[in-house]
Chains A and B, each alone.
Chain A
Amino acid sequence: MKLPHAFLAGLAFGAGLAVSGMTSPARVLGFLDLGAIRTGHWDPSLAFVMIAALAVAAPLFALSRRRGRALDGGILPTLPTHGIDPRLIGGSAIFGLGWGLAGICPGPALVDLGVAPWPAVAFAVPLGIGLLLGRRD
């Protein structure tokens, strides 16, 4: 992939995150706080981020499956599938614990580095260390 294309893809992806509200920890925690349903303060809007993203992405993935090759002529890589193993479930649980603590997942963490370098770096540096620590090899 050409580097300007990759940069533009990151730029558009990041813009999508910022527009959607996902870059705000307060918004994300407000969405995850299901206890607020009782008090009428629950903010369900972020559910629509995933709904819209899947509605657009799923047909494109389906189209790609029918073609069997990438449009740039490259072969579609076989994605690593270790099945449903303890690493998948345990890792996802650890991720959820961390996500619930501060309301930040990896994509928004990187966009927030541009919004507010400090304190975003206080999350991003341990994130990078964790990514390397959690590798399979």
Chain B
Amino acid sequence: MQPAIVSALAGGALIGLVSGLLWLVHGRIAGITGIARVALRGPDRDWRLAFVAGLIVAGVAARAIAGAGVAAGLDTTPVLRLALSGLLVGIGTSMANGCTSGHGICGLARFSRRSLVAVPVFMGTAIATVALLRVWA
């Protein structure tokens, strides 16, 4: 098997394990949209801030172990595009109450009807956006 597929399977299994355990043990959904939004403003912020801190420290560790290539493509993206993309991702995921983790993993794992709709919509529009940018660029 190709190394990229092995690491995708390993990383995905770890993501799935954390998502499943967070719900099974603590009754919490490992949706980054909801966690980040309530960490910014909302009730019961402390555990969410700790979770976000864990995500950021994971990035620091990943860079120390594997180098800056962990985020390959980030530094070559124009800053204005990053900012516009961030704003759209924030508004969209907040409106839809979930993103790749909340709908894509937790939602699909429990066969939520909303997630079964949300995931094809955001995958489809993302694929269409990349295709359009290919035509224009």
Q: Show the binding face of A for B, using Cβ within 8 Å.
A: 1, 3-27, 29, 32-35, 43, 45-61, 63-65, 67, 69-72, 74-77, 79-84, 87-107, 109-116, 119-120, 122-135
Contact = CB atoms under 8 A, between A and B. Distances in A.
B4 A45 contact: yes
Nearest to B132: A100
Interface in B10-49: 10-30, 32-33, 36-37, 40-41, 46-48
A106 B93 contact: yes
Contacts of A80: 97
B133 A25 contact: no
| Prevailing SS type, chain B contact patch | helix
B93 A75 contact: no
Contact of B55 (A92, A111, A129): A111
A11 B58 contact: yes
A91 B20 contact: no
Interface string B70-113: 11111111010111111111111111110111011110111011
